[in-house]
Amino acid sequence: MRRIERENTGYMEPEHDLVVAGYIARRGAAEIVKTRWEELSHRFSQNYLEEVISYEEIILPETFSGWNGYPISECQTVREGGILKAVWDLSGAYGMGVEFSLAKIPVRQETIEICEEYDRNPYRMYTDNCILLTAARGDRLTQRLHQEGIPAAVIGRVKKGIAREILTEEGIGYLERPQEDELKKILPEYFG
């Protein structure tokens, strides 16, 4: 595994839990609705589309120091390329393997439906206000985040070795190298 260059501000060890705080792909889905409103209004109600673009969330820290006081060991901001790129980058920065479940990643139903409308993968879509965290006790971290009104879930764990495994009902798959962001395929102008 080729190490991915980044500033490692914390530490990551085998058996640490992988935790996602925030919802994935919400920004990408909202941008699609904003630019394709007319087209989508033939399929979805106005109230539904307004729900996709008008949401209030607690703004999450994007840096390790911003999580001071939380029981985390490392963090990775989820942005272009979505949660799958964030997992790839974090595991690559430490040269460690991971195993995780897509089914456990926090994603809103509206986001899935907007992505399905354009045959796009929400796990590879632009995201903001979403952070991938590692923690020795992810259950305690998610409990605290929930108490503060932040959606969060333990999605997997760090492992020895270099394999990046995706756990599914059918068995084990492997995370592929990051691909072009799904939002870029629909709205290339969004990335300037």
Q: For the chain, what percentages of helix, strand and coil (3-state, to nearest 5) are there?
A: 40, 20, 45
Task: With residue 168 as reference, give the H or E element that holds it.
Answer: strand 164-168
Sign of the torsion formed by the C-alpha atoms of 29, 34, 36 and 40? positive
> How does DSSP assign 114-130, residue by residue?
HHHHTT--GGGS---S-
Specify the pLDDT at position 9: 80
| Domains of the chain, earliest start first | 17-187 (3.90.650.10)
Look-up of token digits 């993968």: 121
Task: With residue 56 as reference, give the H or E element that holds it.
Answer: none
- Shortest CA distance to 10 belongs to which of 120, 113, 132? 132
Residues 96 and 160: their CA atoms lie apart, in Å, by 6
* Mean pLDDT (the chain, rounded): 94
pLDDT digits (tens, 9 = 90+) for 46-57: 999 999 998 777
pLDDT digits (tens, 9 = 90+) for 109-149: 999 999 999 999 999 999 999 999 999 999 999 999 999 99
Residue 190 CB coordination number (10 Å): 17
Specify the pLDDT at position 191: 80
Residues 71 and 152: their CA atoms lie apart, in Å, by 14
| Average pLDDT of the segment spanning 175-183 | 96
